[in-house]
Amino acid sequence: MSLAVLGSPVLAQEAEVDCANAMTQMDMNICAGRDYRAADEDLNLAYQNAIAVAKEWDLGLSEDLRGAEDTLREAQRAWLPYRDKVCEATGFLVRGGSMEPMIVARCLETVTRRRTEDIRAVYEMN
């Protein structure tokens, strides 16, 4: 991230937003973005844990039966563009309006949290 971006008014304003009392559309957009970033961080942690579990599963299998780690990695790589396109399509509900960033970010948050739940349901049952 460049220093010019770090000093931008948008980032300065983002730091000041109280999401419990967001009143303007810009504040709501900022808060939705924060919520999505938090969901994405949760997903990344769940995914890293799942990769570790999948590696363990592979170690317990004969070489000809292995593939849990690779399959999970391929599934995640396929899921990412799906998530992005689903939420881009959802944004067309308010395309060009000031709500679009919020609608897209809320979609990204929701879909990402669902994916996190799905990963945890399989890889944290041990």
pLDDT digits (tens, 9 = 90+) for 38-57: 999 999 999 999 999 999 99
- What is the rounded end-to-end Cα distance, in angstroms, of the chain? 39
Whole-angstrom distance, CA of residue 55 vs CA of residue 15: 39
Top CATH class, 3-123: mainly alpha
**The pLDDT of residue 5:** 36
For 3-25, the pLDDT digits (tens) are 343 344 455 556 689 999 999 99
Task: Kindly give, in sequence order, each residue whose CB lies less than 8 Å from that of residue 66, ignoring residues fewer than 6 positions away.
Answer: 58
Q: How many alpha carbons lie under 13 Å from residue 103 in its C-beta half-sphere?
A: 15
